[in-house]
Structure 1
Amino acid sequence: MTITSVPLAGLAKIVPTRLGDHRGYFSEVFKDGWFRENVADVNFVQENESLSAAVGTVRGLHFQLEPFAQGKLVRCIAGRIFDVAVDIRTGSPTYGQWYGTELSKENGEQLWIPAGFAHGFATLVPDCVISYKVTAPYSAASDRGLLWNDPAIGIKWPLPLDNAVLSEKDKVQPTLANLPPSFTY
């Protein structure tokens, strides 16, 4: 596995090695000791999977407050998504900045998003399956969000999203300017 540098401190793009031949490939997609030594010394407590059927489905931007703040290790096991993290750590030199990358079954890449970032994605093809390990369980009382298309953040989603498929919750999340401080850098 290798780590690719990304512009926001704390994020890490992980590229597992694939060993392939005429039958396909084999890849170690997660190794606890390697992850702790090279990325973050955390415990994963749960693994989640979601299916988004329609192209242009947007999930996010989500995060959880302490004591249920989540770090997430995200990968796309079917389809292609544009995965995004937004720095919401008060006092961070990159507060309000975003990073996005394509995750797909084909590239096998993963994105580590620590607590202090809002996370979301948009589907680029039909029937995307996303798997993500998290460092804390889901807590409805701690669940929060940030508006996915806040112009102050300026995420450059790689497809027209005039007809984005959204949950009712994601349509009414606060903008960054209206987001109460949630994390400190």
Structure 2
Amino acid sequence: MMTLIETGISDLFIIEPEVFEDDRGYFFESYNKKIIDDLTGMEFNFVQDNQSRSSYGVIRGLHYQLAPYSQTKLVRVLQGKVYDVAVDLRKGSPTFGKWFGVELSAENKRQFLIPKGFAHGFSVLSESAVFAYKCDEYYHPESETGILYNDRLLNIDWKVKDCDINVSGKDNILPEMKNAEMNF
């Protein structure tokens, strides 16, 4: 069984699995298409799994793919702890330009369901983190874009000291949201 937690932004959910623990360890169902589709009232067809490892202070994002290659992502942490953020880029949405962040860790086993039309990023809060995500569309480099992680209007608190932030050269030159291309 899984529990769906609302975020205050439509279609953006935290999913908490039921974890069975005893002296041997634990077990939980990390993905069940039928349960997630039933809980959310939406249907997803995940076609690609990705995994990354990053060290403390790394910020990856804010990334998205333009339509028609936009992606729904179901993300979770296999080792360590991250602060995961999604920004609503759906132009007709009452929460356009709003963001929501949640701590995901190997310990809490929470997942974050980020639908099409959102930018996504995370910061690593532990010494290192292994991050996994399912996507319902294949990676399409020609439609890949993003928003600068430290956009002044978004004002995201990444939970990492400025002196410890580590961002790729590619992510460091992304445009601010007001200049970003989006077609959702």
TM range (shorter): over 0.9
Q: Is the 8 A contact 2:33 2:44 kept in 1?
A: no
Task: Give a deviation string over 1:67-114, Cα, whole Å, max 9, x none.
Answer: 211000000000000000001111211111100000000000000000
After TM superposition, the structure 1 stretch with the greater mean CA deviation from structure 2, 174-183 or 10-19, is 174-183
Please state if 1:83 is matched with 2:77: no
Q: Which amino acid aligns with 2:86?
A: A
Distance in 1 of aligned mates of 2:159 and 2:15: 21
Distance in 2 of aligned mates of 1:157 and 1:4: 21
Q: Which amino acid aligns with 1:138?
A: Y
Aligned pairs for 1:144-159 (under 5 A) are 144-159=145-160
Aligned sequence identity (%): 42
Matched residue SS, 1:90: coil
Aligned pairs for 1:82-121 (under 5 A) are 82-121=83-122
**Other-structure match for 2:176:** 175
Shift of 1:158: 1.4
Normalised to the residue count of structure 1, the TM-score between the two structures is 0.95
C-alpha RMSD over aligned residues: 1.0
Normalised to the residue count of structure 2, the TM-score between the two structures is 0.96
Distance in 2 of aligned mates of 1:18 and 1:151: 39
Number of residue equivalences? 182
Distance in 1 of aligned mates of 2:182 and 2:117: 10
Q: Is the 8 A contact 2:3 2:15 kept in 1?
A: yes
The structure 2 residue matched to 1:45, chosen from 47, 51, 66, is: 47
Distance in 1 of aligned mates of 2:57 and 2:98: 22
Structure 2, unpaired ranges of 5+? none
Task: Give a deviation string over 1:127-161, Cα, whole Å, max 9, x none.
Answer: 20001000001011010111111010111221213
Task: Give a deviation string over 1:33-70, Cα, whole Å, max 9, x none.
Answer: 11111123010001110000x21100000000122110
Distance in 2 of aligned mates of 1:25 and 1:163: 34
Q: Which amino acid aligns with 1:100?
A: G
Matched residue SS, 2:151: coil
Distance in 2 of aligned mates of 1:131 and 1:30: 12
Shift of 1:174: 0.7
Shift of 1:162: 3.4
After TM superposition, the structure 1 stretch with the greater mean CA deviation from structure 2, 31-40 or 12-21, is 31-40
